[in-house]
């Protein structure tokens, strides 16, 4: 039995069915990221777990106990939001202490607990500061400390890095899992940024249209997305998705046609022979060549986009084939030449059924 | 289409209760015909005021703005022949999306067939083909933004001004459209200025980037120049994800030339500048004990054995504090000497939290900044003054 078990959960808001038979299970102490585009129902899911709204059907259970009849304040669930929501007229200390004050804890105990949490989040030295004197990073941690002070069994984080600047977001992406591990709490973290999902989660659940489409380690979702929607969402630059019809090559291996070129497709499932399908190729598997040689596609370079350490290149091949290629630090050499060639490595390619969208194994 | 030049432009806002705000200070830069310029910075840096002055929504307090040879400072916005996609620049509610996009072309009396083809082309690129027969009311913010962008890009103009053109879009769509929009701008040779706070977007799309802070241009250069030769600590830490690793240090003499000590917990870590051109040049510029900040980009450090050919300023052991594989690159947090730094590698690195890895810092990727003035002193062991001669716009813009 999992620590947090969500079974066949459903919820409609007005006429819209926001959560549709959602299943999700988490182990104790796990850090799970729910990743999905805005409007997929992520926030509603968190509100259902917290108990702020009631489900129409299905169940949330924590540590084997159904939460159906348990009031929000008795669930041991804490929630932190995008906006820091600190009380402006309280010091950082009083902000963090506020849930304990509401519980009527003794002053000594309050002090000790705040010090303990503040120490782990490294904000001890700003506890007497007012919110307006705190940097955004300190506000973030103060807000986090407040949600952790009651030692929740489950911590829900709703896109907490959305409104912070890029630098802090990067640092927090690295630090958060480390920091939260100390609390041994079960963390469900919601984001619409795939990089954040990949960086943060032991496991990632991809959520779309009110249901979970895939739960796996981030690297596995990246290489083997469950369906076309997941493939489109996961990756920057996104995966190339090209309609094709695999053929048997002179009684030998399977080939696919991309634009006007026919390429060996070693990993293509047999049952896709002579059927319409979509082949998914990661941009880093489209390699630029120095000259046109062997098994290559002649291409025209349309746009070069440096992306921090990698560079994405948009190219077109004969047959109106649009491809994105990505490479490690080669920007300069490619800027000048317009006509070049690429080699496509199909070893890591994935194949999808165009009707159901499902990946074909 | 035309070049754009901005010369010594100032913008001072005067308000009765708050006195003067000098929003843009002595700004000078230009882009050639068909090039793309990004105005990059955090909120309040002056980037939007600059764009609004070019558009004519704000007056220019002093200085000149020219499109081609034509001085446009005092022209009405409508007389400047610029196409704009601004957030506040609303769509026409009674018209369909298609008519909204085609508006300027209809006014120019282009043939119906040509208009239809052009609208279809831009709609496809921006993924709004399905929306063409709908009305603006009821579209999401991201959809409206793409319609507004399509409307601006489709009309003929001397100059295209885009204010945070993709701010309302989800990360995934933004990543896709970046390339499509850039391709369109390049293909049609549209001289473009766009404002963004997202350095990834600026680097991906622009030929030249103006990094602004506090109304002052910090550096104006190509993405490559900003990455390899940041003019000061602000630019170094604003550009790049992760931002450049920056460590406090000081200059020391060593037996065989010059050394840089990196401060932290315990004994400082010593970087040696190999004898020869690097240490000689640095010696001339740097007095012993001078306080400096040493920088290196996360993907420029080398892991493991020292590779042949690369002059190393030093190798040392770092402790792994985190290791994240992002699909096409690894981001690794490291502790050296109590300092937190980041390493990015192309392939997954087999290292767990607490493991030790050996790092090399190639001299050619080392940056040295003056800690007090925050200005760059050396890039890759070469004094900034000589590095700057290769990029005249940069030195001109900085005036440092």
CA A43 to chain CA centroid, nearest Å: 14
Q: Which residue in B has a C-alpha nearest to residue A285's C-alpha?
A: B328
CB atoms closer than 10 angstroms to residue B181:
25
Gap between the Cα atoms of B220 and B4, Å rounded = 14
Same domain, B216 and B75: yes
Same domain, A219 and A263: no
For residue B398, the model assigns a pLDDT of 37
What is the pairing mode between strands A277-281 and A240-244?
antiparallel
Gap between the Cα atoms of B78 and B155, Å rounded = 14
Q: In chain B, which residues have their Cβ closer than 8 Å to the Cβ of A314? A: 179-180, 182-183
Quick check: is B393 in a domain?
A: no
Residue contact B331–A166, C-beta within 8 A: no
DSSP B274: P
Q: In chain A, which residues have their Cβ closer than 8 Å to the Cβ of B178? A: 305
Q: Which of A140-144, A192-196, A332-336, B147-151 has the lowest mean pLDDT?
A: A332-336
CB atoms closer than 10 angstroms to residue A124:
15
Gap between the Cα atoms of B329 and B292, Å rounded = 31
For residue B309, the model assigns a pLDDT of 67
Residue contact A305–B237, C-beta within 8 A: no
Structural contact between residues B300 and B240, judged by C-beta atoms closer than 8 angstroms: no
Cα A191-A196-A197 angle, rounded to 5 deg = 70
For residue B394, the model assigns a pLDDT of 38
Q: In chain B, which residues have their Cβ closer than 8 Å to the Cβ of A170? A: 241-243
Same domain, A66 and A207: yes
Q: In chain B, which residues have their Cβ closer than 8 Å to the Cβ of A326? A: 328
Q: Does B44 reach chain A within 8 Å, measured CB to CB?
A: no
For residue B395, the model assigns a pLDDT of 35
Same domain, A203 and A273: no
For residue B278, the model assigns a pLDDT of 65
Q: Quick one: pLDDT band at residue A39, thresholds 50, 70, 90?
A: confident
CB atoms closer than 10 angstroms to residue B174:
19
Q: Which of A7-11, A78-82, A106-110, B158-162 has the lowest mean pLDDT?
A: A78-82
Tokens representing A352? 């999808």
pLDDT in tens, B314-346: 888 999 999 999 999 999 999 998 999 999 999
Same domain, B195 and B299: no
Examine the pLDDT at A336 and tell me if it is beyond 60: no
Q: Which of A222-236, B6-20, B208-222 has the lowest mean pLDDT?
A: B6-20
Please report, for residues B20, B173, B261, the alpha-carbon distance to residue B290 in angstroms, rounded to integers and kept in the order given. 38, 48, 11
Q: Does B56 reach chain A within 8 Å, measured CB to CB?
A: no
Cα A249-A251-A255 angle, rounded to 5 deg = 20
Q: In chain A, which residues have their Cβ closer than 8 Å to the Cβ of B342? A: 174
Mean pLDDT of the B285-299 span? 87
Examine the pLDDT at B310 and tell me if it is beyond 70: no
Examine the pLDDT at B393 and tell me if it is beyond 70: no
Residue contact A170–B241, C-beta within 8 A: yes
Structural contact between residues A195 and B326, judged by C-beta atoms closer than 8 angstroms: yes
Q: Could you say which of A176, A198, A233 is where a domain stops? A: A233
Examine the pLDDT at B16 and tell me if it is beyond 90: no
- Residue for token pair 């960086």: A199
Tokens representing B320? 């792994």
Examine the pLDDT at A186 and tell me if it is beyond 80: yes
Helix, strand, or coil here: B351?
coil
Quick check: is B215 in a domain?
A: yes
- Domain range for B13 is 4-233
Domains in chain A, number: 2
For residue B102, the model assigns a pLDDT of 94
Please report, for residues A73, B262, B300, the alpha-carbon distance to residue B279 in angstroms, rounded to integers and kept in the order given. 65, 17, 20
Same domain, A253 and A346: yes
Same domain, B250 and B206: no
Q: Could you say which of A233, A254, A275 is where a domain stops? A: A233
Cα B235-A332-B41 angle, rounded to 5 deg = 20
For residue B1, the model assigns a pLDDT of 61
Asked if the peptide bond before residue A237 counts as cis, ω within 30 degrees of 0, the response is yes
Distance in Å, alpha carbon of B125 to nearest chain A alpha carbon: 12
Query: Among partner residues A37, A237, A309, which is closest to B175 by beta-carbon distance?
Result: A237
Residue contact B179–A238, C-beta within 8 A: no
Distance in Å, alpha carbon of A237 to nearest chain B alpha carbon: 6
Residue contact B204–A305, C-beta within 8 A: yes
Query: Among partner residues A195, A283, A326, which is closest to B326 by beta-carbon distance?
Result: A195
Q: Which of B139, B172, B344 is the best residue to mutate to test the A interface, defined by the most A CB atoms within 10 Å of its own CB? A: B172
Q: Which of B324, B335, B347 is the best residue to mutate to test the A interface, defined by the most A CB atoms within 10 Å of its own CB? A: B324
Distance in Å, alpha carbon of A175 to nearest chain B alpha carbon: 8
Residue B390: phi and psi, rounded to 5, are: -80, -15
- Residue for token pair 């999306």: B97
For residue B399, the model assigns a pLDDT of 36
Q: How many residues appear in chain B?
A: 400
For residue B400, the model assigns a pLDDT of 33
DSSP A239: P
Interface A-B: count of C-beta contacts within 8 A: 108
Direct distance between the N- and C-terminal alpha carbons of chain B, in angstroms, rounded to an integer? 33
Report the largest interatomic distance among the alpha carbons of chain B, rounded to a whole angstrom: 79
Residue contact A309–B333, C-beta within 8 A: no
Q: Does B324 reach chain A within 8 Å, measured CB to CB?
A: yes
Examine the pLDDT at A166 and tell me if it is beyond 90: no
pLDDT in tens, A251-309: 788 999 998 889 999 989 999 999 999 999 999 999 988 777 777 888 988 888 888 88
Taking Cα atoms as reference points, which of B304, B289, B283, B282 lies closest to residue B359? B304
For residue A92, the model assigns a pLDDT of 95
Same domain, B209 and B264: no
Same domain, B174 and B264: no
Residue contact B170–A37, C-beta within 8 A: yes
Same domain, B154 and B218: yes
Cα B79-B40-B177 angle, rounded to 5 deg = 80
Quick check: is B318 in a domain?
A: yes
Examine the pLDDT at A62 and tell me if it is beyond 50: yes
Using CA atoms in the order A274, A280, A285, A288, what is the torsion angle rounded to 10 degrees?
Answer: 80
Same domain, B358 and B306: yes
Examine the pLDDT at B259 and tell me if it is beyond 90: no
Using CA atoms in the order B316, B320, B324, B329, what is the torsion angle rounded to 10 degrees?
Answer: 10
Please report, for residues A201, A212, B92, B112, the alpha-carbon distance to residue A219 in angstroms, rounded to integers and kept in the order given. 10, 17, 45, 50
Same domain, A198 and A250: no
ipTM: 0.84
What is the pairing mode between strands B312-325 and B356-362?
antiparallel
Residue B190 belongs to a domain with what CATH number? 3.40.50.300
Same domain, A109 and A193: yes
Domains in chain B, number: 2
Report the largest interatomic distance among the alpha carbons of chain A, rounded to a whole angstrom: 82
Q: Which residue in B has a C-alpha nearest to residue A232's C-alpha?
A: B172
pLDDT in tens, A85-103: 899 999 999 999 999 988 8
Residue contact A170–B242, C-beta within 8 A: yes
pLDDT in tens, B91-103: 999 999 999 999 9
More confident site: A9 or B139: A9
Helical residues (DSSP H) of chain B, grouped into ranges? 47-55, 97-107, 112-125, 141-154, 171-187, 199-205, 223-228, 233-238, 277-285, 384-389, 392-398
Mean pLDDT of the A314-319 span? 90
Strand ranges of the sheet holding A247-248, from the earlier edge strand across to the other edge: A247-248, A254-258, A261-264
Same domain, A76 and A145: yes
For residue A275, the model assigns a pLDDT of 95
DSSP secondary structure string for all residues of A16-76: EEEEEEEEEEE-TT-EEEEE--TTSSHHHHHHHHHTSS--SEEEEEETTEE-TT--GGGTT
Q: Does B187 reach chain A within 8 Å, measured CB to CB?
A: yes
Enumerate residues 191 to 220 of chain B having a beta carbon within 8 A of any beta carbon in chain A: 198-200, 203-205
Residue A210: left (phi > 0), alpha (psi -120 to 50), or beta?
left
For residue B171, the model assigns a pLDDT of 83
Q: Does B338 reach chain A within 8 Å, measured CB to CB?
A: no
Residue A284 belongs to a domain with what CATH number? 2.40.50.140
Same domain, B278 and B353: yes
The answer to whether the pTM exceeds 0.90 is no
Same domain, A16 and A140: yes
Residue A195 belongs to a domain with what CATH number? 3.40.50.300
- Domain range for A110 is 4-233
Query: Among partner residues B171, B183, B200, which is closest to A303 by beta-carbon distance?
Result: B183
Taking Cα atoms as reference points, which of B385, B161, B202, B357 lies closest to residue B285? B385
Same domain, B227 and B250: no
For residue B311, the model assigns a pLDDT of 73
Q: Which of A35, A197, A236 is the best residue to mutate to test the B interface, defined by the most B CB atoms within 10 Å of its own CB? A: A236
Q: In chain A, which residues have their Cβ closer than 8 Å to the Cβ of B243? A: 167, 170
DSSP secondary structure string for all residues of B293-345: EEEE-TTSSEESSPPTTPPEEEEEEEEEEEEEE-SS-EEEEEEETTEEEEEEE
Residue contact B205–A305, C-beta within 8 A: yes
Asked if the peptide bond before residue B140 counts as cis, ω within 30 degrees of 0, the response is no
For residue A175, the model assigns a pLDDT of 82
pLDDT in tens, A106-144: 999 999 999 999 988 889 999 999 999 988 888 888 998
Residue contact A198–B327, C-beta within 8 A: yes
Q: Could you say which of A181, A209, A233 is where a domain stops? A: A233
Examine the pLDDT at B387 and tell me if it is beyond 70: no
For residue B275, the model assigns a pLDDT of 67
């Amino acid at each position: 039995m999992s620590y947090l078990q969500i079974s066949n959960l459903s919820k409609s808001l007005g006429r819209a069915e926001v959560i549709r038979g959602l299943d999700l299970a988490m182990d104790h102490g796990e850090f799970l990221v729910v990743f999905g585009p805005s409007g997929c129902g992520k926030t509603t899911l968190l509100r259902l777990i917290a108990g702020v709204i009631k489900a129409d059907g299905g169940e949330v259970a924590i540590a084997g106990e159904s939460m159906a009849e348990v009031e929000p304040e008795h669930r041991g669930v804490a929630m932190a939001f995008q906006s820091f929501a600190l009380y402006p007229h309280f010091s950082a200390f009083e902000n963090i202490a506020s849930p304990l004050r509401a519980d009527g804890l003794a002053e000594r105990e309050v002090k000790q607990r705040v010090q303990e949490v503040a120490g782990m989040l490294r904000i001890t030295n700003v506890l007497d500061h007012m919110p307006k004197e705190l940097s955004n990073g300190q506000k973030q941690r103060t807000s986090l400390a407040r949600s952790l002070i009651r030692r929740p069994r489950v911590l829900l984080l709703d896109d907490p890095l959305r409104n912070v600047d890029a630098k802090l977001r990067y640092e927090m992406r690295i630090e958060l899992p480390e920091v939260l591990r100390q609390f041994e709490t079960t963390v469900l973290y919601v984001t619409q940024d795939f990089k954040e999902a990949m960086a943060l989660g032991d496991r990632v659940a991809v959520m779309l249209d009110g249901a979970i489409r895939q739960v796996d380690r981030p690297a596995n979702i990246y290489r083997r997305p469950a369906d076309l929607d997941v493939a489109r969402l996961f990756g920057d630059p996104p995966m190339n998705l090209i309609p094709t019809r695999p053929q048997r090559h002179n009684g030998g291996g399977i080939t696919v046609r991309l634009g006007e070129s026919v390429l060996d497709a070693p990993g293509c499932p047999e049952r896709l022979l002579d059927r319409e399908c979509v082949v998914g190729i990661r941009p880093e598997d489209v390699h630029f060549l120095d000259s046109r040689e062997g098994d290559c596609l002649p291409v025209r370079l349309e746009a070069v986009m440096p992306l921090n350490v990698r560079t994405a290149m948009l190219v077109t091949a004969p047959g109106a084939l649009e491809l994105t290629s990505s490479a490690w630090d080669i920007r300069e050499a490619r800027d000048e030449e317009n006509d070049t060639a690429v080699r496509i490595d199909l070893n890591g390619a994935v194949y999808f059924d165009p009707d159901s969208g499902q990946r074909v194994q | 289409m035309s070049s754009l030049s901005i010369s010594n432009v100032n913008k001072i806002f005067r308000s009765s209760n708050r006195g003067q705000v000098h929003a843009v200070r002595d700004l000078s830069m230009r882009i050639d015909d068909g090039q793309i310029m990004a105005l990059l910075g955090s909120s309040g840096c002056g980037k939007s005021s600059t764009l609004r002055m070019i558009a004519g929504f704000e007056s220019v307090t002093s200085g000149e703005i020219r499109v081609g040879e034509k001085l446009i400072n005092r022209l009405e916005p409508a007389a400047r022949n610029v196409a704009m996609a601004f957030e506040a620049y609303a769509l026409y509610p009674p018209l369909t999306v298609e008519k909204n996009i085609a508006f300027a072309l209809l006014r120019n009396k282009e043939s119906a067939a040509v208009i239809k083809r052009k609208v279809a082309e831009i709609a496809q690129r921006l993924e709004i083909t399905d929306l063409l027969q709908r009305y603006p009311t009821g579209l999401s913010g991201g959809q409206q933004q793409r319609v507004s962008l399509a409307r601006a890009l489709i009309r003929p103009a001397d100059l295209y001004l885009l204010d945070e053109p993709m701010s309302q879009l989800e990360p995934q769509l933004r990543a896709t459209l970046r390339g499509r929009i850039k391709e369109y701008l390049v293909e049609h040779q549209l001289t473009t200025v766009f404002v963004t706070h997202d350095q990834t977007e600026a680097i991906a799309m622009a030929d030249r980037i103006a990094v602004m802070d506090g109304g002052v241009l910090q550096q104006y250069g190509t993405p490559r120049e900003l990455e390899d030769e940041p003019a000061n600590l602000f630019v170094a830490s604003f550009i790049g994800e992760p931002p450049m690793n920056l460590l406090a240090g000081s200059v020391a003499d060593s037996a065989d030339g010059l050394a840089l000590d990196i401060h932290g917990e315990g004994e400082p870590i010593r970087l040696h500048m190999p004898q020869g051109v690097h240490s000689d040049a640095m010696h001339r510029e740097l007095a012993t004990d001078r306080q400096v900040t040493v920088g290196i980009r996360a993907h420029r450090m080398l892991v493991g054995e020292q590779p042949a050919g690369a002059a190393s300023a030093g190798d040392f052991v770092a402790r792994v504090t985190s290791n994240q594989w992002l699909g096409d690159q690894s981001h690794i947090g490291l502790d050296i000497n109590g300092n937190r730094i980041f390493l990015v590698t192309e392939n997954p690195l087999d290292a767990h939290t607490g493991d030790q890895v050996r790092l090399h810092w190639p001299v050619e990727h080392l940056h040295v900044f003056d800690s007090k003035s925050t200005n760059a002193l050396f890039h890759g062991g070469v004094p900034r003054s000589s590095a700057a001669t290769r990029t005249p716009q940069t030195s001109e813009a900085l005036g440092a």
